[in-house]
Amino acid sequence: MKKIIVLSILMTLTTFQLLACDIRLSIPKDSAKEIYKAGDEVVVDVQIQFNHRVCPVEIKKTKFTYENLKIVGATDWKEIKPGYYTRQIKVKIEKISDAKDGQAKISAVRTCDKEGGYAVFSFNKPQK
């Protein structure tokens, strides 16, 4: 039984390292809100860490897509330490609702021969 549990844990841990880039999208805690509404301007923190240290695709090739948002501005990429980059993107929420097509979200994707990486941040739906 112990062997099955250990094997399951190892398989789970290795699954998380399949992507070459660990991408995180978040809102700084000091500016986070419980409920967002149309018209709100929000800063999204982007953090990317290369799990394989060296990536053949430069950081500027990271692609961002968004729905029901408008990009207002963004900082340049900063390399905090080797293989770890950050930037901030300021977005304006144009629409947010309970409907699937009304969700406001931003996603980041990196594509390379080492599997790349992907992350999405969805703003909450208003509560009724």
pLDDT band, residue 12 (cuts 50/70/90) = very low
**Which residues lie closer than 8 Å to 35 by C-beta, 6 or more apart?**
124, 126, 127
**Owner of token pair 């979200």:** 105
CB of 43 within 8 A of CB of 31? Answer: yes
Q: Which two tokens mark 63?
A: 């692609």
- pLDDT per residue over 83-99, tens digit each? 899 999 999 999 887 66
In this structure, whether the domain defined by 20-122 belongs to CATH 2.60.40 is answered with yes
- pLDDT per residue over 35-74, tens digit each? 888 999 999 999 999 887 677 888 999 999 999 999 999 9
